[in-house]
Amino acid sequence: MPTDIVSCCGLVCSECPAYIATKENDADKAQLTAELWSRLYHADVKVADVWCEGCMLPGKKCHHAGECEIRACGIKRAVENCARCSEYPCATLEGFFAMAPQARTTLDRLRAG
């Protein structure tokens, strides 16, 4: 996974539709992402909320990055992602993994290797 950009929680940013829309500066893709996330998360997600260049990288952040406790913890602990944390996996991550099991797979692979 050397070219992948991985968020603190283990989601692969470089595969995220918000990241792709941002990198391609594609307003239509951003709109589709906002509509998708609105349906998936039963929320009113605006186009302005999806522009993102990766939660742990400089640049634009999706709206959720500002309220993500996993990201805040990673920044506080100065880790690239949770796989690099001495307390991996913590209770907060376990709860997240219930919703996003692929994130555990990503972090486990990074931790092992």
Q: For 30-42, what is each residue's pLDDT tens digit? A: 999 999 999 998 9
| 12 DSSP assignment | B
* Pair of tokens at residue 98: 């219930």
Given this model, what pLDDT does residue 1 score? 41
Question: According to the model, what pLDDT value does residue 81 have?
Answer: 95
4 is a domain residue: no
Q: Is residue 62 domain-resident?
A: yes
Within a domain: 3: no
- Which pLDDT does position 90 carry in this prediction? 96
**Position 33 in a domain:** yes
Does a structural domain hold residue 6? no
Structure tokens belonging to residue 32 = 């589709």
Q: So what's the pLDDT on residue 37?
A: 94
Q: Is residue 80 part of a domain?
A: yes
How far is Cα 74 from Cα 94, in angstroms, rounded to an integer?
15
Q: Domain tally for the chain?
A: 1
What is the pTM assigned to this prediction? 0.86
Q: Is residue 2 part of a domain?
A: no
Q: In which domain, by residue range, is 104 found?
A: 13-112
Measuring CA to CA, which residue among 8, 3, 6, 2 is closest to residue 78?
Answer: 8
Look at residue 30 and tell me if it is in a domain: yes
- In this predicted structure, what is the pLDDT of residue 61? 94
> What are the per-10-residue average pLDDT scores of the chain (113 residues)?
82 95 97 96 94 92 93 96 96 94 96 91
